[in-house]
Copies of this chain bind each other. A is one copy, B any other.
């Protein structure tokens, strides 16, 4: 069977561009009411019956029969054995990726994640204490899309933050374990791991069961059931983001070899038929060249069926008036991955306001960032980069304000607070402030 990858060819000067462009971008996060109801039922059941419910759902949905939750725990020695059993090349790649991810997140903590305080002129201390969460749950998808790199990207920032208890859950349909995922859990220093998944795993982590400890926050991607369950337990525990389909936007000035860019578009498209790959460039001949490389390279790709569908349904090669316009369009999209494939990426970077990760220059393929450059590959999708950030050490920390008002400070602040408190009709607040004022 022959596959054709035919991304839409658009031009910003077309009269109907705004309409065509909006249509390409459209993706609805609307949830399925049937899924919502089933997830609500599963959560309620796990909350009520604990381990027994988790065992039932694991048997039913994952085809994995177990007599007890103990049988679903992955022991440390099993994780280590998985690591030891890998080819040397994979062991080294995992360790090298983990090292770089760790060192990046340590820099992140140092730059933005330390406690701070100061004293004002009255000797009053003000600041914030930054502390790690006690215990977090990491959801790792299993089955078709089992990504060891996701284990590293979730567990390592938690570790760097200082979380003392990292619980991983990963479904293993029919009991089939992915050795790379187990090995990654070993390398990342996950504290406990269970072969459970779906809404039942999210429920177990959020409510706790006799076997699964209740966590403070749940991170990691999952299918529609997992996303719905995370959204429902939000508030009782923290969650990271709700991920939509993955996307890449490439801003090209036409100087990068077109086969490199074609392969970067493939690397996004191969994830999923809903994934989105868009190329913006002011040079029409370059867009033609990239399309030729797409046509030439596609037959070699094992995942060509997915790539062809993703590019044809959701991909686009867009001719822009200039690079400035390409940057402005990018800001409207707020892409998850943004490649600036240009000779001088630093000329354009300051114009880029919203993106999960910005990959600068022709050598920075998104895939290097996905695995081992260091920054996190868990990124805001579907335009949520307008208001959210990559997963990071800060997701595994929280802050407490620190205030120590000096006696002198209480005299000044007490008057201000009392005026405002009386203004709000809160006399208790006012009197508490006034009591600290010397008469």
* Per-position binary interface string of chain A over residues 357-382, scored 1 when its CB falls under 8 Å from any chain B CB and 0 otherwise: 11111111111111111111001100
Minimum CB–CB distance for A338 against chain B, Å = 8
Q: Please state the number of chain copies in the assembly.
A: 2
Tell me which residues from 62 to 120 in chain A have a Cβ below 8 Å from any Cβ of chain B: 89-90, 92-94, 96-97, 100, 104, 107-108, 111-114, 116, 118
**Interface membership of A355, Cβ < 8 A:** yes
Q: How many chain-A residues does the 8 Å CB contact rule pick out?
A: 130
Query: Contact between A263 and B431 (Cβ–Cβ < 8 Å)?
Result: yes
CA distance A365 to B431 in the complex (A): 10
Query: Contact between A413 and B236 (Cβ–Cβ < 8 Å)?
Result: no
CA distance A131 to B267 in the complex (A): 28
**Interface membership of A18, Cβ < 8 A:** no
Tell me which residues from 392 to 409 in chain A have a Cβ below 8 Å from any Cβ of chain B: 392, 394, 398-407, 409
Minimum CB–CB distance for A430 against chain B, Å = 7
CA distance A406 to B406 in the complex (A): 52
Residues of B within 8 A of A365 (CB): 405, 410, 417, 432-433, 435-436
Minimum CB–CB distance for A10 against chain B, Å = 23
Query: Contact between B112 and A417 (Cβ–Cβ < 8 Å)?
Result: no
**Interface membership of A217, Cβ < 8 A:** yes
Residues of B within 8 A of A387 (CB): 133, 216-217, 237-238, 398
Minimum CB–CB distance for A323 against chain B, Å = 17
Given contacts A29-B235, A231-B234, A368-B403, whether A426 and B270 have CB atoms under 8 Å apart is yes
Query: Contact between B216 and A364 (Cβ–Cβ < 8 Å)?
Result: no
Which residue numbers of A lie inside 8 Å of B, CB to CB?
Answer: 29, 89-90, 92-94, 96-97, 100, 104, 107-108, 111-114, 116, 118, 124-131, 133-134, 146-149, 180, 216-217, 231, 234-238, 241-242, 257, 259-260, 263-264, 266-271, 301-303, 307, 338, 345, 349, 352-376, 379-380, 384-390, 392, 394, 398-407, 409-410, 413-417, 419-421, 423-433, 435-436
With A149-B420, A380-B398 given, can you name 18 additional A-B contacts, CB distance below 8 Å?
A93-B415, A94-B420, A96-B416, A107-B118, A107-B126, A112-B113, A131-B353, A148-B424, A238-B388, A349-B402, A354-B400, A360-B402, A360-B404, A361-B405, A363-B405, A371-B417, A375-B401, A390-B401
